[in-house]
Amino acid sequence: MDVLIWAILVVVFVIFEIATVQLVSVWFAAGALVTMILTFFYDIPFLGQLAIFIVSSAVFLGLTMPFIMGRRKKKGYIPTNSELEVGRTAKVIEEINADSGTGRVKVGGVDWSAVSADGSVIPNDTVVTVTAVNGAKLTVKPKD
C-alpha cells in the first residue's frame, strides 16, 4: 500500500511540475520516486519512508541547484523599460494635477502618464525625477 501512495505522489509532483514550469516540485518527484523504489524492495516504517523522502529530495535539490543558478546567471538579466526609468529625470509636458486627473512627462523621448509623488500640482516644463513606475504611469517629484 505504501508503494502505491509514493507512486501517486510521484505522478502528482510531475503533473504539478508540468503545470507550473517553474522547477518547484521536480525534486519532490525524484524524492518520492526514490522512496517508492526503496519501499518496494524493503519493509520500511512510515517515518523511515518520510525521512528517505526528505533526504533524497534535499540531495537532488542540492545537486541540481548550483547548475540551475549558474545557467540563470549566464542568460543575464535584462531589465524592462519601466525598471530603466526609475531615478531618471523627465520634463513635464502636461500639468500634473491629481484633482483633474492630468499629467504627462517625457523621459528619453518617450511620453508617459504621470502622477505626483506627494499629490502636489506640478506645472508644465518642470524637470522632475521618476521615483516609481506603476504599470504605464510614472510617479514623479520635482527635481531638487
Q: How many domains are there within the chain?
A: 2
Position 48 scores a pLDDT of: 94
Helix, strand, or coil here: 121? coil
Domain boundary among 75, 101, 129: 75
Helix, strand, or coil here: 22? coil
Give pLDDT tens digits along the chain (144 positions).
Answer: 689 999 999 999 999 888 887 777 888 999 999 999 999 999 999 999 999 999 999 999 888 888 777 765 555 555 555 566 677 888 999 999 988 888 999 988 888 899 998 888 999 989 999 888 887 888 898 887
Position 25 scores a pLDDT of: 85
Q: Same structural domain for residues 90 and 135? A: yes
Q: Same structural domain for residues 69 and 102? A: no
Q: Same structural domain for residues 60 and 96? A: no
Residue carrying C-alpha cell 520516486:
33
Residue 70 makes CB contacts below 8 A (sequence gap 6+) with none
Position 78 scores a pLDDT of: 56
Cα angle, residue 78 at apex, residues 74 and 83 outer, rounded to 5°: 145
Domain boundary among 31, 46, 75: 75
Domain CATH number, residue 123: 2.40.50.140
The model's pTM is 0.50
